[in-house]
Amino acid sequence: MQRLAKWFDSIETEKPFDSCKICQNFLSETGGNWVINKHYHRKECVLEYAICVHCRDEVSNSFSHDSKAAIRDFLETKIDWQERILEWSKLDSPIKRLDHCVACTMPREWMLGFTISAQFQHDGSLIEGALPLLLCSHCVSQINDSLSPESRETWKRFIAMYFEGPDSQDYHPGIF
């Protein structure tokens, strides 16, 4: 299996993620898919985690209906999926999708910060679908601004509970 140029390995361990940040179970034993999210600021990874499908559903279900609708609306209206899919089909590696923002198409080099997400299946292989993708911090804050105060609070608690230090504001809820 081809390793993805380490983009989706843990910066902390320099190895592929092996357990879910929330339930701590081994990803290979959760029986389902998992998602990896990494947040970068000024080219430095400031927050990273893998989350199993069960925990992701739980976090996602704790968001209000309006917030979920707002996120969906962003994904549907701010991302030109037709254009992206055409472009992605021509890439020799899905990792090249990370060269620019999936929504505003700003090149990665110009960004102050960004978030990358990828989905893997139980055997550890990358799922090529809507993910992997990269969102610039500007687009991330647009999503955050559209969340209800309750959902923002939920997200803040999630970050505070599982991570030391960072303020939740700059991180998009990795629920897609």
Contact map string, positions 84 to 103, toward Zn ion, x by CB under 5 A: -----------------x-x
Segment near Zn ion (CB under 5 A); pick from 15-23, 62-70, 82-90, 115-123: 15-23
Of 135, 128, 175, 130, the closest CA to residue 151 belongs to 175
Contact map string, positions 17 to 36, toward Zn ion, x by CB under 5 A: ---x-xx-------------
Quick check: 136 binds Zn ion (CB under 5 A)?
Answer: yes
Q: Which two tokens stand for residue 46?
A: 């400031």
Type of residue at 104: C
Count of residues near Zn ion by CB under 5 A: 10
Residue 83, H or E segment? helix 81-89
Q: Give 174's contacts (C-beta < 8 A, 6+ positions apart).
A: 35, 37, 49, 51, 56, 115, 117
Quick check: 52 binds Zn ion (CB under 5 A)?
Answer: yes
Contacts with Zn ion, residue ranges (CB under 5 A): 20, 22-23, 52, 55, 101, 103-104, 136, 139
